[in-house]
Amino acid sequence: MSKYHQGLYLVDDNAIDTKNALNSWIERAYRQKLYSFPSGEYYIEYLSDHQDAHDYMEWISPEGAARWLLAREFSLPEDLAEYRDRKISLI
């Protein structure tokens, strides 16, 4: 995972541009941002405030995205509605 420039990442040989996201949710305490894309995929951006560290992004499964959102008390978007009634572990 490497970063080209702000908002553009290379994740598993796929160029991901945060400008193309449909939705995003930010978790300020841990400096994470979850994005949903038109493809139906979800990615988490990890933001660093340390000079020697770099921001990076990784793919997350739909179930993982639902866990991330629920753990932070966000509402689930429609494409993750199936996880509302499931008993998924938040860990």
Amino acid 7: pLDDT = 81
Mean pLDDT of 54-65: 94
For residue 3, give the H/E element and its range: strand 2-5
The answer to whether 60 touches 70, Cβ cutoff 8 Å, is no
Interval 6-53: pLDDT, tens: 788 988 888 999 999 999 999 999 999 999 999 999 999 998 887 777
Q: Indicate the helix (H) or strand (E) that contains 63.
A: helix 62-71
Q: What is the pLDDT of residue 5?
A: 66
- For residue 83, pLDDT over 60 is answered with yes
